[in-house]
Amino acid sequence: ARPHNLFEGVRFANLTQQATIEVFSVSGRFVDRMEETDGDGGLEWNLTDMARRRIKPGVYIYRVSTKQEGVEEFVGKFSVVE
């Protein structure tokens, strides 16, 4: 049994006060876009696509961008396992 308070998703941290995160499959298919707007530098994503369907296990690429001057775009990857 899983604990009832277990978060099943991805936590993005150390973001600028306003940031955009875009997630893609390794084949380049767009999965979802999220916005950090509350200024706390963190964002949780529940592993669903734009249609709110749960994404499949695999490797995903994410891109973090911001309009804040002097801050470069960042690209990373993560994996989803069952």
Q: From residue 79, how far is each of 24, 37, 62 by CA, in Å?
A: 12, 25, 11
Per residue in 25-77, pLDDT tens?
999 999 999 999 898 999 999 999 999 999 999 999 999 999 888 888 999 99
Contact 80, 30 (CB under 8 A): no
Distance in angstroms (rounded) separating the CA atoms of residues 21 and 43: 9
| Cβ-Cβ contacts under 8 Å for 67 (sequence gap 6 or more) | 18
Closest by Cα among 62, 65, 37, 28 to 47: 62
Return the pLDDT at 82: 82
